[in-house]
Structure 1
Amino acid sequence: MEEIAAFSSADADKALKDCERMIQKSLKSPTVRFLREHLEKAGCPVQDNFFKAIKCDQFHAGGYLPGEGIVVCGNRTQMQDEVTQAITHELIHAFDDCRGANLDWTDCAHHACSEIRAGHLSGDCHYKRELLRGFMTVRGHEQECVKRRVLTSLSSNPFCSGSTAKDSMEAVWDVCYNDTAPFDRAP
């Protein structure tokens, strides 16, 4: 048993080091650079130490922690594209947090709006990603994906229980889905 635990710890350490390396590579991505530039223009510059690789217990690729930074789950992300995707998604949350002086992550509508924007603008729901996840429809796949992923994210927010999550998402959908800032249009 001790050998297995030591091997698992070594694997975890390697996964985190690999993730740190992929984070550094992601910071050179044109979309990540664009978002960081716009965060700086909005008065919220983010340094390289804003991004951290961690071991996660839940099934998430990463997360945005207001006031702290972005974490990428080294034990959940194994490819460069996954890391870049997670960072892009979370940078949109950081941008929303920066520009929304009264953004309240405990408010289900606020959380839903940022999730709608992050899902729509980050490419989370590109048809190739959806196909790999086993979700694919001919029409409307992107919006259906965004809605599904928003509800999944809101389910982890204790302030969004029951029908509150869906009601909040539907209430802000049009405004938030069509808000493409800092992009001119959805990428």
Structure 2
Amino acid sequence: MEDETSPTIGSDWAGSSKRGKSIEECEVMIRRSLRNPQVKVLIEQMEKSGCRVGDNFIRAVVCTTPHGGAFQKGRGITICSNHIAIQDEVNQVIKHELIHAYDECRAKNLEWLNCAHHACSEIRANHLSGDCHLKRELLRGFLRIKGHEQECIRRRVMKSMRANPECTEAASKDAMEAIWDICYNDTKPFDRAP
């Protein structure tokens, strides 16, 4: 039974892959991701902040929802093997979800049902994970060159906020705009946006 106060915060990478991987194949890809420099920094910083990242913190599962993965407080990160096809997708989803986990760890009082808290973590996850790099946007069919990153982040934040039962579209947009500068410029645990 899921804790209603800690919703699953999902990464909408799914949809780029028509084929998925088995759980075993995905687990191998997860182990490879753990060698990624950004992933290593995020895990090290969580551990330094007192949040244990055990062997089962990131795990492969078969998902019924159209997500590449998700973070849930107290449960860790799940990677949807049936929606992941290549290593780069696993790396991206893990980085995105680890930023949510890091935010949960460092904030100690983060309330996922609070529109501003949720929007802030989504801004950070989309910005710091590289979800909105030009290459990824072009692959998604978004051809705008100038200003693409912030437009992408705003679009993806709003898409993620739709899953929050406490946040209407208007409340989500207002929250995102109110905290944009603070959250976009917060690059912790990195010195700057990767």
TM-score normalised over the length of structure 2? 0.88
> Which of 158, 164, 179 does residue 157 from structure 1 map onto?
164
Matches within 5 A, 1:133-172: 133-172=140-179
Choose from 63, 75, 78 the match for 2:85.
78
Residue 20 of structure 1: aligned partner: 27
Would the aligned equivalents of 2:119 and 2:175 in 1 still touch at CA under 8 Å? yes
Letter in 2 for 1:18: E
Runs of 4+ in 1 over 2 A off after TM superposition: none
2:115 matched to 1:108?
yes
More helix by share: 1
Q: What is the number of residues matched between the two proteins? A: 176
In 2, Cα distance between the equivalents of 1:71 and 1:98? 17
Provide the aligned C-alpha RMSD in A.
1.3
**Bigger Rg, structure 1 or 2:** 1
Deviation of 1:141 after TM superposition, in Å, equals 0.3
Alignment partners' CA distance in 1, 2:175 and 2:62? 31
| TM-score, L = length of structure 1 | 0.91
- What do the CA deviations read for 1:144-177 (whole angstroms, capped 9, x no partner)? 0000000000001111123111111111111000
Q: Distance in 2 between matches of 1:71 and 1:175?
A: 28
Deviates more, 1:157-166 or 1:114-123: 157-166
Query: Distance in 1 between the 2:184 and 2:96 partners?
Result: 14
| Structure 2 residues without counterparts, runs of 5 or longer | 1-18
CA–CA distance in structure 2, aligned partners of residues 139 and 45 of structure 1: 40
1:68-125 per-position Cα deviation (integer Å, ceiling 9, x unaligned):
1000111111100000110000100011000102100010110000000000000000
Q: Distance in 1 between matches of 2:178 and 2:86?
A: 35
The alpha-carbon deviation at position 45 of structure 1 amounts to: 2.4
- 1:162 and 1:111 map into 2 onto residues whose CA distance is 13
- In the alignment, structure 1 segments of 5+ residues that lack a partner are 1-10
Preserved contact between residue 158 and residue 169 of structure 2 (Cα < 8 Å): no
Q: Hey, what does 2:131 align to over in structure 1?
A: 124
State which of 96, 103, 108 in structure 2 corresponds to 1:96. 103
Per-residue CA deviation, residues 118-140 of structure 1 (Å, 9 max, x unaligned), is 00000000100111000121211
**Counterpart in the other structure of 1:39:** 46
- C-alpha distance in structure 1 between counterparts of 2:127 and 2:67, whole Å: 17
Deviations 1:28-75 (A, max 9, x none): 111111110111111112022101111112221111011110001111
Q: Which amino acid aligns with 1:102?
A: N
Identical residues among aligned pairs (%)? 59
| Higher normalized contact order (CA 8 Å, seq sep 6+, divided by chain length) | 2
